[in-house]
Amino acid sequence: MGEETGVEAGPQTTSSALPFRMVDITLAKPLPNHLPMADSINTVRKELVFQWKLLTSEWNRAHYVTIGFGFLALVLGSVSSELWNGGDAKIAGVDGVMAISGFQFFQMLVSIICWIWFAYQALVLFPIMRVHAISLLIMWNGLIGAQIFFHQNNPNFPIGFSLADMMSGTLVLLVVFFFLFFFWKAVVETRDLHVEINHLHEDVRVMEEALAEHSLRGWTTALGAWILLVMVSAWAGLHHVASFGESNLVYLILHLMTGLPAVPLLLFVLWYPQRMLGNQTSVRTRAAVDASLEMANEGLIIRPSGAACPECGAASNLGLNNSGELVYPCLAEGCSTPTVIGTNCLTCSEPMPNRIACPSCGVNAPALDYMPDQEAW
């Protein structure tokens, strides 16, 4: 996990900043090798132990306060006398909202404010995961919406379900799982690109060790657990509401018991990729990276500029694009994407400085000084 940073935004640090390495983690009671899938299970357990120790050593007050607001938002939105007595099914829309008692309306308002604050804090804590934080919250609501459709004509769902009544809910589920798959794919492929660029080595074994150090099996297990918890919580909550008038507090308890752990697990799912990849990374699928490069380089012409070192006169790879901007191959090891001086590489996000070091004599000079006089103006 080289070049990682902590949760807070800041410059990237080297892997030595880690208090410990995944390879140093040992299980107290590993599963015996003769058991089925013992090696895979032990690997996941080892990664989860590593991630838990790293989390407990690096999460600060801001993370735990955010979790507290998430807990408060979920509880205030779930525990209400309006749900206990079932309300009036004949009143809907604005009239239904106005029929809520003053205290319950205030409780609902506080719950919404807590959710907004929770989402805002997630965006602040995990800057490179902002888009994904919003999408995961939307997916959470999408799973709840699917259960609404499932329970619309069948309050006892899944008992006595009818395929004809499941079309809308199934469609919502398919859309949600489609976006969840692409979220997972974006993290995995960004990890692969990170290892290829930042841990490039001529020895294949070293590359394999770096890839193992960046393994996402444990994180994938946590993501799957989060999805399962949200699905069960959504089903239990809707089942509790759909079967009002009955003694069904067990569904409300199940809703809270599965919904509350989903709150910190969501933060973990957002935190770990950022901790691994650093704050300068853009978490995207490889296809999205290729598409952005193609769009950025569409019609791009890198023409020779006759650039040379101002000290020793050695030829330089500095060129000009069709907009007249200075372009130089990315300085990151394993990446040579043409990058405009003073911007970040579109492939690996490595910053391109305004000064370039001559590979021949080592002088470090402003990029403009490499240009001949007729090209400088």
Query: 185-206 pLDDT, tens per residue?
Result: 888 888 777 766 666 656 666 6
Helix (H, G, I), strand (E, B) or coil at 304: strand
Q: Rounded mean pLDDT of 108-117? A: 92
Q: Rounded mean pLDDT of 32-47? A: 85
End-to-end alpha carbon distance in the chain: 44
Q: Rounded mean pLDDT of 227-247? A: 82
- Which residue in 224, 229, 262, 212 sits closest to 47, CA to CA? 212
Lowest mean pLDDT of 74-78, 111-115, 322-326, name the range.
Answer: 322-326
pLDDT digits (tens, 9 = 90+) for 280-333: 666 656 555 555 555 555 444 455 556 778 788 787 878 777 666 788 888 777
4, 15 Cβ separation under 8 angstroms: yes
Query: In the chain, where are the structural domains located?
Result: 15-58+126-286, 300-376
Where are the strands (E) in the chain, listed by range?
A: 303-304, 319-320, 326-329, 338-340, 355-357, 364-366
Indicate whether this model's pTM tops 0.85. Answer: no
Q: What is the pLDDT of residue 7?
A: 31
* Angstrom distances, CA of residue 354 to CA of 44, 131, 183, 320, 359: 44, 30, 34, 14, 16
Question: Which residue would you say has higher pLDDT here, 127 or 337?
Answer: 127
φ, ψ at 351 (rounded to 5°): -65, 140
pLDDT at 3 over 50: no
